[in-house]
Amino acid sequence: MKKINHLTSYLLLAVLVIGALSSCRKDTNGDIEGGKGAPAISSIRTVSKSKVDSSLTNTYTTYDNTGKPTTVTVPNYNAQISAFDSTTTTGNLGNLYAIRGSNLASTTKIEINGVNVIFNRALSSDEGVIFSVPQNVPTIQPQANKLVLTTLNGTVSYDFTVLPPPPTISTLSNYNFSANSQITLKGIGFSSVSAVKLRATNEVVTIISKVDTQLVIRMPASTANRSSLVYTYTSGPNTGAQAGSRQEFINIDKAYKVFANNDFQNGWTDASWTGPSGRSTATSKSGTASIVATYPAGAWQVEGWANWNTGMAYDPAYKFLTFWVKGGTVDHELVLVGDQMAGGYGQVQNANAYAAQKIKVPAKVWTYFKIPLAAPSSTDVNSLNFWKNGTTAKQLGFFLQGQTGDVNETYYFDEVMFVK
């Protein structure tokens, strides 16, 4: 049996509702058939909607490199599809609803909070009209919270509150944080947020300022290695609604740092071929310095860093390599290399590199990368396998394959870290 996905269910539900409503017809005089009296609304029903039930929980157990277990129980943050055709006085942006009532066949206009709602009169009947809530309906209170329906024979209003969308990030100033650092989140739904915490530890994140499209937060001194956010926000009558961010944030204070906090860390140093290279104060992602790497025009060259003394020993607790990189004059694909990786620290051509090594860097902007590390025995091409040939890695760098017509390229790297 094939599994029916949410989109298929959504379309099927819509067809069922449409079939239940007789489409509007015209009589022999060309007038729309249906009641000639004033319109009346008896109810609004959902064709489809989703709800997050945070009372549902999941329990996860992880083990550190000594075998010590840690168990964390977290609420459910995934939306669940609710029963079809349930009566409601609240709606969500983009969802589909059916107005039930009488004398509705000649409907000419529907508005919610002053915004026109597009509907298909061919799918309407004297007893029902199907509509979806436009994305531009205002949700920030106070609002009229009214659906107003107009027909050829009159107007009727009905109490209907459009709920604010859950807080959703579209862009952010940084994926990394340290104690008391500020991060700016941009997106939608932030004006209704009353509290923020780290999902991994329930530690409180301080709200500095908020408007609907932007939330500025201050991060705590956390014990978490990495964590997504959990928002508590107001959704209609529910002042305790919760939603989680898809984005995960990395705690710089808990990571193994190659370069962060404006300098090389843990014995790592510049090991590039061409200058200028190494620490630079020309630009930075979040501080006052970053690493600069220079690639001459047309060259086939590796630029990078080394820790010749202790290196970095393999530790299964480390799951990701993360870094920010600012691109050069044009888009390029770099190949990430290391002395213990497949191909070693050298000229691994793009055609010979596996997926996790290929770093597509847009020109002139900072781009964030988070790459799975994997165990030494792994053959997963989507993981970096940083210790494939040995359990102590002493070099990390990026190869740029030169091409005819290249110009000199300068790249900047910041917050280069291994993360548990």
pLDDT digits (tens, 9 = 90+) for 112-154: 999 999 898 888 899 999 999 998 898 877 889 999 999 999 9
DSSP 74-85: EE--SEEE--TT
Question: Counting beta carbons within 10 angstroms of the beta carbon of residue 83, is it exposed (0 to 12), middle (13 to 18) or buried (19 or more)?
Answer: exposed
pLDDT computed for residue 50 by the predictor = 53
69, β-bridge pairs: 63
Domain boundaries, the chain: 40-163, 168-247, 255-419
Average pLDDT, the chain: 86
Q: How far is CA 119 from CA 12, 79, 89, 131, 150, in A?
A: 18, 26, 19, 5, 12
User: For residue 405, what pLDDT is reported?
Assistant: 72
Whether 301 and 400 have beta carbons less than 8 Å apart is answered as yes
Rounded-to-integer distance, Cα 239 and Cα 243, Å: 12
The greatest distance separating any two alpha carbons of the chain, rounded to the nearest whole angstrom, comes to 94
Task: Check for a shared fold between 40-163 and 168-247.
Answer: yes
Q: Which residues does 349 contact at the CB level (< 8 Å), separation at least 6? A: 335, 401
Helices (H) and strands (E) in the chain, counts: 1, 35
How far, rounded to the nearest angstrom, does the alpha carbon of residue 380 sit from its chain's CA centroid? 25
Contact 272, 280 (CB under 8 A): no
Q: What is the pLDDT of residue 141?
A: 78
Q: What is the CATH topology of the domain spanning 168-247?
A: Immunoglobulin-like (2.60.40)
Q: Determine the pLDDT at residue 47.
A: 85
Low-confidence ranges of the chain (pLDDT < 70): 1-34, 48-85
**Domain range 40-163, its CATH number among 3.90.180.10, 2.40.50.140, 3.20.20.70, 2.60.40.10:** 2.60.40.10
Q: Is the dihedral of CA 138, 143, 149, 154 positive or negative?
A: negative
pLDDT for the residue numbered 280: 98
Residue owning tokens 């590796």: 302
DSSP state of 376: T
> What was the pLDDT predicted at 375?
87
User: How does pLDDT run across 210-252, given as a tens digit for each residue?
Assistant: 999 999 999 999 999 999 999 999 887 788 889 999 999 999 9
> Which CATH architecture best describes the domain 255-419?
Sandwich (2.60)
Structural element, H or E, at residue 19: helix 6-20
Rounded CA-CA distance 1/389 in Å is 45
Do the strands 161-163 and 90-92 form a parallel or antiparallel pair, or are they unpaired? parallel
* Phi and psi at residue 31, to the nearest 5°: -85, 150
